[in-house]
Amino acid sequence: MPRWTTRTRGGGCSANAKVSHRLQRVPLVVQQEDRTSSQKRGNEIWNPKYLGVAKLAPRADAIYEPWTTLGYIAAQNRITRLRLGVGVTDAGRRNPAVTAQAAATLHHLSRGRTILGIGPGEREGNEPYGVDWAKPVARFHEAIATIRALWDSGGAPVTRESQFFPLHDAVFDIPPHKGGWPEIWVAAHGPRMLGIAGRYADAWFPSYPQQPKQYSQKLAVIRSAAEGAGRDPLAITPAVLFFVLTASSSAQVDEMVGSTTARAFALSASAEVWARHGVEHPMGPTFSGIQDLLPQTIDEHTALSYVERVPPSLVRETCLAGTPSEILDQLSEWRDHGVRYAVIANISPVHPKLRIGLGSSLSLVQLLRGMRRL
């Protein structure tokens, strides 16, 4: 059975994932892509009435621009081996030439510690700002191909036809850092995106709700696509982003699972995921999930009516929920289905009581220590 290792710091994850097939807790600084959406409607649930931590962080969408933030962190951590990345960059909202430049620049400033996490984005971060959302996967495909073309150009002018990002004698003269570019981690979920990941990605980095068996099946699709593109299928790191609800007691975990905020989080799951729990998604039986969700258009009354339909089992599929030992058992199953690199996002502060929400940090530390032994 393959085993997995956790690390709080340190590089070299690529080598370990490829050679020894160990699962690691990624030492990433995970930032969300920048958003400036209105807080007048959908974010009314981000309120001390429902969420204790809202007393400390009252603005749900006050998120710094990630590449600027990572540049600052790189400057402050030049001696450490902390790896830096965005989970994930929106390919539609940014011109890929700008993304290629930002990632290559950070790679030099951080001395080779950069990861370029990238995906097609979500409607929320595009459509309200005038970005066409008609063909997000096609746009993503062209974006990642453009990034690779610029990085591989060696400084020579690049001309490349594209429906979205054409290049005409475009010069990209930043050299690779010690012969290497940032690893590209692709957030892929659907069939077309899985094929693109197999062709271009250094790591597969999904975050939408799925079951371990589905993960294994999708990983096989990616590896098949990689082989078809003449790549080593085992060179692609099988990663995943897990949202975690954890506490010292099962009772506190149940309170987190039943909280208004945790159940609202489940609205981001697709109608297909909802159907597995015997419930129709309030946005319709064909709703695709977070990629098409516009939370700022939903008022508080409507959001709360949607939340009432969320069963506890659905919340437990959208995240790992349990005491540290229970979550370790869940992670063991994911490991057995192919996961080798886990990113942990702690959302336990959704507990209505601020004290318990903040206290979950101790349980998180126990979980991370336990992951080292898996």
pLDDT tens, 305-348? 999 999 999 999 999 999 999 999 999 999 999 999 999 999 99
Q: What is the pTM of this model?
A: 0.86
What is the rounded distance in angstroms from the CA atom of residue 65 to the CA atom of residue 93? 13
Q: Are 79 and 98 in contact (CB under 8 A)?
A: no
Q: Residue 346: what are its φ and ψ, rounded to 5°?
A: -80, 115
What is the rounded distance in angstroms from the CA atom of residue 300 to the CA atom of residue 58? 16
Rounded to 10°, the helix 212-228/191-200 angle is 50
pLDDT of residue 192: 97
Q: Which residues contact 204 (CB under 8 A, 6 or more apart)?
A: 185, 186, 188, 194, 197, 218, 219, 222, 236, 237, 238, 239
What is the rounded distance in angstroms from the CA atom of residue 305 to the CA atom of residue 323? 29
pLDDT of residue 76: 84
> Three-class SS of residue 158?
strand
Q: Which residues contact 185 (CB under 8 A, 6 or more apart)?
A: 85, 87, 88, 115, 116, 117, 118, 201, 202, 203, 204, 205, 237, 239
Question: In percent, how much of the chain has pLDDT > 90?
Answer: 70
Lowest-confidence range among 38-42, 138-142, 363-367? 38-42
Q: Which residues contact 358 (CB under 8 A, 6 or more apart)?
A: 52, 53, 349
In which band, very low, low, confident or very high, does the pLDDT at 165 lie, cut at 50, 70 and 90? very high
Lowest-confidence range among 62-66, 288-292, 302-306, 358-362? 62-66
DSSP symbols for 114-133: EEEEEE---GGGTGGGT---
What is the rounded distance in angstroms from the CA atom of residue 244 to the CA atom of residue 217? 23
Q: To 10 degrees, the CA torsion angle through 28, 32, 33, 34?
A: -130
Q: Residue 78: what are its φ and ψ, rounded to 5°?
A: -75, -20
What is the rounded distance in angstroms from the CA atom of residue 106 to the CA atom of residue 128? 29
Q: From its phi and psi, is residue 29 left (phi > 0), alpha (psi between -120 and 50) or beta?
A: beta
Nearest residue to 190 (alpha-carbon basis) of 136, 250, 257, 244: 136
pLDDT of residue 51: 58
Rg (C-alpha) for the chain, rounded Å, is: 20
pLDDT (average), residues 167-171:
98
In which band, very low, low, confident or very high, does the pLDDT at 29 lie, cut at 50, 70 and 90? very low
pLDDT of residue 266: 95
CATH of domain 13-243+326-349: 3.20.20.30
Q: Is the pLDDT of residue 245 over 80?
A: yes
Structural domain boundaries in the chain: 13-243+326-349
Nearest residue to 274 (alpha-carbon basis) of 240, 306, 320, 241: 306
Task: Count the residues in the chain.
Answer: 374
Nearest residue to 109 (alpha-carbon basis) of 151, 72, 153: 72
Q: Are 328 and 372 in contact (CB under 8 A)?
A: no
pLDDT of residue 33: 40
pLDDT (average), residues 93-114:
94
pLDDT (average), residues 172-177:
97
Q: Is the pLDDT of residue 301 over 60?
A: yes
